[in-house]
Amino acid sequence: MRLELLQAFLNVVESGSFLAAAHRSGLSQSTISRQIQALEEEVGAPLLHRKSPVALTVAGERLLPHARRICQEWQQAQASIREWLQGGQSELCVAGIHSLTAYRLPPVLQEFCREYPQVQLRVTALGSDRALKVLKDGLVDVALVMENPWLRRGGELVVEPLYSEPIQVLMATSHPLSRYERIPWPVLAEYPQVVFKDGYAMRTCVESHLARQGLTLKAALELNTLEAFRGVVRQGQLIALLPESALVDCHADPGLQVRPTDPPLLQRQVVAVTTRDRYQIPPIRRFLQLAAQLLRQPASDAKADRDASWVSAKFARPRLPKL
């Protein structure tokens, strides 16, 4: 069933004649006549008495309310999509890696809410793999994750580079590695580590880097929150390899030490990802643009921005719930 057949039927009924319906729709009278004939073949019964003005048959009377409802639903669907494409969405959902959402994202959230006060932001912290999974499943609009080569395969995703940062070593002040200014990788690999759970992009990055040097990660404990990492490492036995942005607050903690690794350095690239269809939506496209503009700065500068604006970054809105 083609929608234009139902629309032609409604035009004839509402205007009272085939000629008036043709003028109303900008088509020829013969075209309207063919459309009505095609519709009658579809339903298997005559719908109109061809007289002036036209009159509904019994089948036409039964079809009329359904035709009106179907055409109205289609018009509403078109209007809804147009509004969505023009930025008229009610919320924007973001999933991002923990260190980014905790330390660097607040200025982006604040600026976005200033520009789009009508859009409710929903942000949750997830590992890269999980964030990409919920993006693929349509549960979020944007994923802020570690770069991965397969993200750019196939062309289904829009990938916006945000920033690159070094991976550094977190340890207790009393740990033997604290005597090093820069910790050689072979030495680092001798000590047990607290790591992200298997499947997190950060753990994969560290394991791959060690493997390229013929070394093995000694994973002693799995965690998935930055607070837990700091608490465990502070006890003195385990070390952790974490991105620079996750370690900003640790420099002021007398019980903790942060050290760079000895070359080769390990860096992670953080990117913003959305689907190509979502990128057409103005608020989503603008969120990626803001992230690219405001996150390309050192982690220490981002911390200063966060500390200065975090209270206002609550946006005078309800707290950001998890998905």
Q: Which residue has the higher pLDDT, 97 or 152?
A: 97
Residues 293, 159 share a domain:
yes
- State how many domains the chain has: 3
**What is the pLDDT, as a whole number, of residue 313?**
37
**How many other β-carbons are positioned within 10 Å of the β-carbon of residue 235?**
11
CA neighbor of 306 nearest in space, from 105, 169, 54 = 105
Q: What is the mean pLDDT of residues 16-24?
A: 89
Element (H, E) at 171: strand 157-172
User: Would the pTM count as exceeding 0.75?
Assistant: no
Q: Report in angstroms the alpha-carbon separations of 67 from 27, 29, 37, 118.
A: 20, 21, 16, 35
In a domain, 44, yes or no: yes
Q: Considering Cα of 230, then 231, then 232, then 236, what sign does the dihedral take?
A: positive
In a domain, 322, yes or no: no
Q: Report in angstroms the alpha-carbon separations of 84 from 113, 138, 260.
A: 18, 15, 47
Residues 278, 154 share a domain:
yes
Residues 208, 284 share a domain:
no
**What is the pLDDT, as a whole number, of residue 225?**
85
Domain boundary among 29, 56, 85: 85
Residues 274, 153 share a domain:
yes
pLDDT higher than threshold 90 for residue 152: no
Residue with the two structure tokens 């719908």: 47
pLDDT higher than threshold 80 for residue 103: yes
Dig out the tokens for 226 from the structure.
């930055």
Phi, psi values for residue 88, rounded to 5°: -85, 45
Residues 254, 181 share a domain:
yes
Residues 95, 141 share a domain:
yes
Residues 128, 79 share a domain:
no
In a domain, 168, yes or no: yes
Residues 263, 168 share a domain:
yes
DSSP states of 115-150 = H-TTSEEEEEE--HHHHHHHHHTTS-SEEEEE--GG
84-88, 179-183, 194-198, 312-316: least confident range: 312-316
pLDDT digit string (tens) for 79-102? Answer: 777 776 665 678 899 999 988 998
**What is the pLDDT, as a whole number, of residue 174?**
94
Dig out the tokens for 258 from the structure.
């942060």
pLDDT higher than threshold 60 for residue 136: yes
pLDDT higher than threshold 70 for residue 30: yes
pLDDT higher than threshold 90 for residue 241: yes
Give me the CATH number covering residue 219.
3.40.190.290
In a domain, 302, yes or no: yes
Give me the CATH number covering residue 99.
3.40.190.10
**What is the pLDDT, as a whole number, of residue 148?**
85
**What is the pLDDT, as a whole number, of residue 1?**
65
Quote the domain boundaries for residue 150: 91-163+270-314
Residues 17, 69 share a domain:
yes
**CA dist., res. 63 & res. 43, Å (int):** 9
Mean pLDDT of the chain: 86
Residue with the two structure tokens 């006890």: 235
pLDDT bracket for residue 271 (50, 70, 90): very high
**CA dist., res. 41 & res. 21, Å (int):** 20
In a domain, 104, yes or no: yes
